[in-house]
Amino acid sequence: MSSIRCPLCGKPNPEELEECQFCQARLKPIMAPMEPLVPESTEGGGSTEKAQDLLAGLAAQAGEDEEVIPDWLADLRMESSPDKGAANATPESPEPGKEEDWLTSLRDGSDLTAESPDAKISVSKPGVTGELGGVLPEWLTDLHEESAKEPFQPVVGDLTDWQTDEAAKEISSDLIASTEDYKKPASSSNADIPEWLAKLPAEQTSKETKNQEAAQIESTIPAEPSIEESKPMESPVLTMAGIHDGVPVQDGGLPKEPTAPAENPPESTTSEGEETSDLLSDLDKETAGPSPEKPPETLVEDTSAEIPEWLSSWSVVDRSTAETSPEPAAEKSASPLETLPSSSTPALIPDDEALPGADVDELLSKEMPDWLSSVGAEEREQEKPADGAEITLPPEQDESLTPAELPSWVQAMRPLEAVIPGVPLKEVGEKIPEKEGPLAGLSGILPTGPALDSTRKPHPYGIKLQVSQRQQEGAALLETMLASESEPRPITAPTMELSKRVLRWAVAGILFVVVGVSTFTRIRITPMAGSYPPQVGAAKDVINALSASDPVLLVFDYQPGLSGELDAAAAPVVDHLMLRGVHLTLLSTSPTGPVLAERFLQKTQSVHDYQRGGQYINLGYLPGGSAGVLNFALNPTNAILLTVDGQPAWKSQPLQGVHLLSDFAALIIITDNAETGRSWIEQAGTFLRSSPMVMVVSAQTEPLLLPYYESNQVQGLVSGLVGAAAYEYINGRPALGYQYWDSFSIGLLAAELIILVGGLWGLRTSIRSRRKPEVDIG
């Protein structure tokens, strides 16, 4: 069983199918009868029906014997592919019942391609029906007669009967609109252009072929009413009609020439073309749509965009415009012309008007209409641009249309490549014969309108922005800044300033020299204080009140580092205690306290010959900090069981009769830390009852513990070397305080001077640096 190849997808289908089972494209084009197309309405189906009748007739004629093929068609075929006979291109007679189907599908414009292998209608030349049989419809005959009389011109008026009908007007408007679409830029309606038309490959024909074809067209196509507005932009409607779904368009059945671009709607300019012009204008208005993507300039000057490829081969239609013409969209207005078979059937030429093969030259040599010749001239000018070369618009074409004024921001975003018309991928320098379909063996038949050169490389629409020089500089600057952020910078280890080291050494040296000299030389130049603090006297009074063998708790809670000061501060107090003959109980909340206590007694109180276990006892370390103090205050015998040398503590002689904290006659706290003193005051103070508490503290803690003395929680306070000196003075027993007094005074003076001079120098430097701008050192 033979199969039919789908003209759209190319897949084989059973012969009996009307539509492709894969893409639902029409397999068998409906040939309209050879009668004027009478489009009834664009919306209704009346025009469709009439168009279908026409096409059915065409199809019927196409299915006739090949012998009825016009000579001119046959000649064209032979030129293209002599080996391919018309038999290959013989379409089947379309069944009347199927006329509507293919017509409808044609109307949708989605089924048919240029290369319809088994199209029912194939053409050997663009715009020429090859297999419609020898009987041409009357309308086509009329067209031929008219064209013979006058140069082919876009249909404006003086159309045949069918054109006078409203349906014809619609058809004409569709054709015109379709023509306009080829002319217009992106604004043109893609929907109005048949899909098959858009997919038809661009065919590049030689100039001679074009002329021949153009001449042939002229002779076969009825005379078209001329258009006074013979704008070079206008491409022949015949082109559109001829290629409109491949259905040959007869004179009178087609608008003879395309209308003017959308900007310039066609007008009836000729006397006999008034009706035609109206029709064309109607067609134009109805089918006017958005222009394609390309800028208008491209299409403005490319008048040949309206002329299909097959016609351009005869009539020097500018193919560049065909490239840029928009793709015909799938949706099209209902137009009988749109339902024409996909095989781009050129305009039907009646048999009696068919040109013999020898008359091709004669056909092409005939006088071409103005519009056709002007378009051809443009085509020659713009023919074959170099690859990648920027196609410049002919200046004369720029004058016809005013380019749209785009906003600046739109212009900036406009892809530059979009301005450049695409360069065809390949030069079609020769006609490629059709291999399948009714046009098998023929070449150059299928029109390659602006939207049909699918072989062209799509325009590379770039996304480059048009940036100004200033913007580029700013972007470069930003890029540099960002790059510098990521660049690793070597981190130089900052070294201590030499001045800092020198200053430290200088201060240390001065103090060392001053204090050392005064200590080693034992100079006595500093007078003693004329008065002593009252808290020192109070402390003396407390100790004076003690009796011999009274147990006194002596707490050593200072650090070894401050032993120099506190040894000097505590020495006269402990000396006074020993002079009174009290029994001392040593205790410490610091781990180093017991050893410090032993060292203190050995170093400062060796003159009194106190013996451990006899006159004093060392209870050692009391852990727990404040909690330990509280624990001891609550129950001393339970807090400390053994002495530092492992002997039972509370059975020794110094602690006889002592069971509670209050059993001690006095509590002497030696500390360098205000918090430690507070802990003893707060935790143990309440448990002392009537026993006094005397504190020997460092000079730094005096301000913090003085309120306790003033609140009578502490009965005596000796602070620092000054207090020690004062205590020694009032006690009349010089000790370490007296030894360190001169060194202490001189050292203190040196420190004061250093602070004064250094502070003033720092103040001056700071003020000067604030006045000067800051220098970034890093």
Partner 1 sequence: MRKPLATAIAIAIGSIVLLGYFLPGTLLFKIRLELVHWAVILTGVAVLVGVFNLFSVHVEKIRNRQKGSVYSLFLIASLLFSFLFGLAFGPDHVTIRLLFEAVVIPVEASLMAILAVTLIYACIRLLRKRLDLMAVIFLATAFLVLLGTAPFPFGEIPILGSLIRPMIVNVPAVAGARGIILGVALGTLTTGLRILLGTDRPYGSN
Partner 2 sequence: MNWVSITGLIFVLLSTGILVSLSLWKRKKPPTFRDIPAYTLLDKEIGLAIEDGSRVHSSLGRSSLLEHGSAASFAALGLLRRISELTSVSDQPPIATSGDAALAVLTQDVFQSAYQTSGAGEQYHPSTGRVTGLTPFSYAAGSLPAMRDENVSVNILLGSFGVEAGLLTDTAERENSFILAAADGLPAQAILYASLQDPLIGEELYAAGAYVQAGQPHTASLQVQDILRWVFVVLIMGGAVLRLIGLL
Q: Using CB under 8 A as the criterion, which residues of the chain lie in contact with partner 2 when the complex forms?
A: 491, 494, 496, 559-561, 590-592, 624-628, 673-675, 678-679, 700-701, 703-704
Candidates 9, 23, 68, 634; binder of partner 1 (CB under 8 A) is 634
Query: Helices H, strands E: what count in the chain?
Result: 30, 8
Q: Residue 494: which of partner 1, partner 2, none does it interact with, CB under 5 to 8 A by kind?
A: partner 2
Q: Residue 425: which of partner 1, partner 2, none does it interact with, CB under 5 to 8 A by kind?
A: none
Candidates 14, 460, 591, 648; binder of partner 1 (CB under 8 A) is 591
CB of 656 to partner 1, least distance (A): 22
Candidates 2, 484, 712, 766; binder of partner 1 (CB under 8 A) is 766
Question: Which tokens sit at 89?
Answer: 């291109």
Q: DSSP secondary structure string, 665-725?
A: SEEEEEES-HHHHHHIIIIIHHHHTT--EEEEE-GGGHHHHHHHHHTTSSSEEEEHHHHHH
Is 624 a binding residue for partner 1 by CB under 8 A? The answer is: yes
- Which residue type, as a one-letter code, is found at position 547? S
Is 522 a binding residue for partner 1 by CB under 8 A? The answer is: no
Candidates 408, 469, 495, 531; binder of partner 1 (CB under 8 A) is 531
Instruction: Name the residue nearer to partner 2 (CB basis): 9 or 595.
Output: 595
Beta-strand runs (E) in 565-672? 583-588, 616-621, 666-671
Is 517 a binding residue for partner 1 by CB under 8 A? The answer is: no
**In contact, 132 and 92? CB cutoff 8 Å:** no
Instruction: Name the residue nearer to partner 1 (CB basis): 435 or 524.
Output: 524
Q: Residue 675: which of partner 1, partner 2, none does it interact with, CB under 5 to 8 A by kind?
A: partner 2
Q: Residue 759: which of partner 2, partner 1, none does it interact with, CB under 5 to 8 A by kind?
A: partner 1
Interface of this chain with partner 1, residues 145 to 204, rule: CB under 8 A: none
Instruction: Name the residue nearer to partner 2 (CB basis): 132 or 630.
Output: 630
Residues 665, 551: Cα–Cα separation, whole Å = 6
Q: Residue 43: which of partner 2, partner 1, none does it interact with, CB under 5 to 8 A by kind?
A: none
CB burial readout 46-61, b (16+ within 10 A) else e: bbbbbbbbbbbbbbbb
Is 745 a binding residue for partner 1 by CB under 8 A? The answer is: yes
CB of 765 to partner 2, least distance (A): 16
Contacts of 664 (CB under 8 A, 6+ apart): 551, 552, 553, 585, 658, 688, 691
Instruction: Name the residue nearer to partner 1 (CB basis): 530 or 657.
Output: 530
Point out which span in 9-17, 236-244, 523-531, 579-587 binds partner 1 (CB under 8 A): 523-531
CB of 586 to partner 1, least distance (A): 12
Candidates 1, 483, 496, 525; binder of partner 1 (CB under 8 A) is 525
Is 508 a binding residue for partner 1 by CB under 8 A? The answer is: yes
> What sign for the dihedral angle of Cα 736, 742, 743, 746?
positive
**In contact, 240 and 183? CB cutoff 8 Å:** no
Tally of CB atoms within 10 A around 656: 12
Residues 415, 404: Cα–Cα separation, whole Å = 16
Q: Of 265, 245, 264, nearest to 192 (Cα)? A: 245
> What is the enclosing helix (H) or strand (E) of 240?
helix 237-243
Q: Residue 102: which of partner 2, partner 1, none does it interact with, CB under 5 to 8 A by kind?
A: none
Q: Residue 722: which of partner 1, partner 2, none does it interact with, CB under 5 to 8 A by kind?
A: partner 1
> What is the enclosing helix (H) or strand (E) of 320?
helix 319-324
Candidates 358, 482, 517, 763; binder of partner 1 (CB under 8 A) is 763
CB of 702 to partner 2, least distance (A): 11
Point out which span in 72-80, 208-216, 616-624, 661-669 binds partner 1 (CB under 8 A): 616-624
Residues facing 559 on adjacent strands = none
SS3 192: helix
**In contact, 184 and 284? CB cutoff 8 Å:** no
Q: State the greatest distance between any 2 C-alpha atoms of the chain, in Å, as a whole number.
A: 161
Instruction: Name the residue nearer to partner 2 (CB basis): 501 or 603.
Output: 501
CB of 722 to partner 1, least distance (A): 6
Residues 657, 220: Cα–Cα separation, whole Å = 150
Residues 55, 63: Cα–Cα separation, whole Å = 12
CB of 505 to partner 2, least distance (A): 14
Instruction: Name the residue nearer to partner 1 (CB basis): 631 or 713.
Output: 631
Residues 258, 469: Cα–Cα separation, whole Å = 45
Instruction: Name the residue nearer to partner 2 (CB basis): 21 or 621.
Output: 621
**In contact, 614 and 653? CB cutoff 8 Å:** yes
Candidates 93, 526, 549, 662; binder of partner 1 (CB under 8 A) is 526
CB of 634 to partner 1, least distance (A): 6
Tally of CB atoms within 10 A around 295: 21
Site track 683-712 with partner 1 (rule: CB under 8 A), x = hit: ----------------x--xxx-xx-----
Is 742 a binding residue for partner 1 by CB under 8 A? The answer is: yes
Is 494 a binding residue for partner 1 by CB under 8 A? The answer is: no
**In contact, 181 and 331? CB cutoff 8 Å:** no
CB of 663 to partner 2, least distance (A): 24
Q: Residue 491: which of partner 2, partner 1, none does it interact with, CB under 5 to 8 A by kind?
A: partner 2
Instruction: Name the residue nearer to partner 2 (CB basis): 699 or 730.
Output: 699
CB burial readout 306-320, b (16+ within 10 A) else e: bbbbbbbbbbbbbbb
CB of 710 to partner 1, least distance (A): 9
Q: How many residues bind partner 1 (CB under 8 A)?
A: 68
Is 507 a binding residue for partner 1 by CB under 8 A? The answer is: yes
**In contact, 189 and 218? CB cutoff 8 Å:** no
Point out which span in 311-319, 350-358, 370-378, 740-748 binds partner 1 (CB under 8 A): 740-748
Residue 297: what are its φ and ψ, rounded to 5°? -60, -35
Is 593 a binding residue for partner 1 by CB under 8 A? The answer is: no
Instruction: Name the residue nearer to partner 1 (CB basis): 404 or 562.
Output: 562
Instruction: Name the residue nearer to partner 2 (CB basis): 502 or 627.
Output: 627
Q: Are strands 12-14 and 3-5 parallel, antiparallel or unpaired?
A: antiparallel
Residues 312, 574: Cα–Cα separation, whole Å = 129
| Apex 560 CA angle, 554 and 562, nearest 5 | 90
Residues at the interface with partner 1 (CB under 8 A): 503-504, 507-508, 511, 525-531, 559-564, 591-592, 594-595, 598-599, 618, 620, 623-625, 627-628, 630-631, 634, 638-639, 644-646, 699, 702-704, 706-707, 721-722, 741-742, 744-746, 748-749, 751-752, 754-756, 758-759, 761-763, 765-767, 770
